[in-house]
Homo-oligomer: A and B are copies of this chain.
């Protein structure tokens, strides 16, 4: 293996050789800021995923380092994120009860499966599979997930019990237990939520008024949540609120991330296969869009297949060090990039910071109320909720609107897996439907030119014995028969017809179904005494046709341009008819 092919799979060999003091400083500053931001975030997402709090920190350490070695983005920060944590809770909640050892093992197994799948997708260069998730489906899914996540955290704000993976389940159990609300928890939860909303909206302008630069003000606002953590933890400790029913984080083991093993039980693995695939693909899509946005600003290059390998390694790391499924997170990556991270080494330094936190800080969060973590999550995810995509899709096309509304409705009503699956299926069906009735135009010559236009839109010349039909779509199985139907109808309607010319400038592809339809058309027209010609066939399509026997059977000719075709087929003695457009 040459050095360059090795550094394709190990990007660290590329940037590592050019590492210097300036890069180090930038990376170090970014790492300190990201560490401070990640501690509450990691604890909160562990809570969301139904995992013990320390798992959130563990899930940020090994994955960050492994991504730094294998990933191609310079600034991406990998760890637990909201949507993937929600999907983890939904998938693992189906096979084990939260709080049990089985739950933790199932989460490790989910991370392991997800890691293996991501690696396999990367090694076999199957990253294009992620493209089956259309933007409307992702937008709808993220919005619906944000609502589900916020609803799932209300129980911590109220201090009551509520379960479920659909909006209906969550709200109905919530209402049923509303009487058990703990007032002190509610006060803490509401205050923390209000404060965090203010941090998001008001702290940044406030910091700007204190004449901080925009980047510093932004970073200050992003690290604000640590204030809520410190204040509420101190309050619980000072007033012994834990004894008065406020749920607190409690004992968190002190020490390095443990070495853990996922389960290889076939029953568990088969239960988690589909969720693992969905988590892998959703996580990859979220991560790559963050990575590309950040890379574009610095004209850096992201290799999607290598990203899959980086994320796969990160998830395997999470599986063997007490974590749960991870991916590249939006807010942490933006903070990392804005704070000056130059290379993936910033991630490694962040990992060191988190190791220190795991070693020394965990006793300090004993009194941290879960309501504060829930507030952190709610404020973070409500920024994901954005129904404007519905309006945007409606204005742009009904097809996209169908995909986004199906995704939102099914995610809320039946959970994340049903929602994203239905969204993908809807997008595909809608696409097949749209291309199944391609736009076709009967064309005629604009008088005095070599241009051919739709007879229904322009005043053009045609001859009664020649039908020129422009096909505005690739020909493949969903529309192959449509072309047959259309041509049969045309041939039946025009008794004088002797020549049909199919104009193919926008036909990018012909598959075997379309080829057989063209052969059927050719034969049927021949039976009716009509010749079939083609014009303006693209190079790759022509190459494909040459590999079949169609060109031998074709009753007519292939013309380089429609103009050539019409000149060759003209019958001067008949003259030409000037069509009048139906629509001016």
Q: How far is the CB of A460 from chain B (nearest CB, A)?
A: 15
- Taking CB atoms, residues of chain B closer than 8 Å to A135 are 477, 480, 512-513, 516-517
Q: Does A499 contact B (CB under 8 A)?
A: no
- Across the two chains, which residue of chain B brings its CB closest to A433? B128
Q: How far is the CB of A498 from chain B (nearest CB, A)?
A: 13
Q: Does A428 contact B (CB under 8 A)?
A: yes
Q: Does A131 contact B (CB under 8 A)?
A: yes
Q: Mark A517-554, 1 if CB is under 8 A from B, else 0.
A: 10010011101100000000010100010011000000
Pick the contact of A396 from B395, B524, B548 — CB < 8 Å? B548
- Interface secondary structure of A, over-half rule: helix
CA of A90 to CA of B60 in the docked complex: distance in angstroms?
A: 54
- Taking CB atoms, residues of chain B closer than 8 Å to A548 are 392, 395-396
Decide if A511 touches B134 in the complex (CB within 8 Å). Answer: yes
CA of A437 to CA of B396 in the docked complex: distance in angstroms?
A: 24
- Across the two chains, which residue of chain B brings its CB closest to A437? B128
Given contacts A296-B488, A396-B547, A547-B396, contact A479 B131 (CB under 8 A): yes
Q: Does A197 contact B (CB under 8 A)?
A: no
Binds B, one of A461-469, A501-509, A565-573: A501-509
Decide if A296 touches B528 in the complex (CB within 8 Å). Answer: yes
Decide if B428 touches A293 in the complex (CB within 8 Å). Answer: no
Q: Does A269 contact B (CB under 8 A)?
A: no
Decide if B512 touches A297 in the complex (CB within 8 Å). Answer: no
Q: Does A157 contact B (CB under 8 A)?
A: no
Q: Footprint of B on A, CB under 8 Å?
A: 128, 130-137, 288-289, 292-293, 295-297, 299-302, 304, 392-393, 395-397, 399-400, 404, 427-428, 431-439, 472-474, 476-482, 484-485, 488-489, 491-493, 505-506, 508-509, 511-513, 515-517, 520, 523-525, 527-528, 538, 540, 544, 547-548
Known: A137-B477, A505-B506. 13 other contacts (CB 8 A): A128-B436, A131-B482, A132-B432, A134-B476, A135-B480, A135-B513, A288-B481, A300-B492, A396-B544, A397-B544, A400-B513, A431-B476, A434-B509
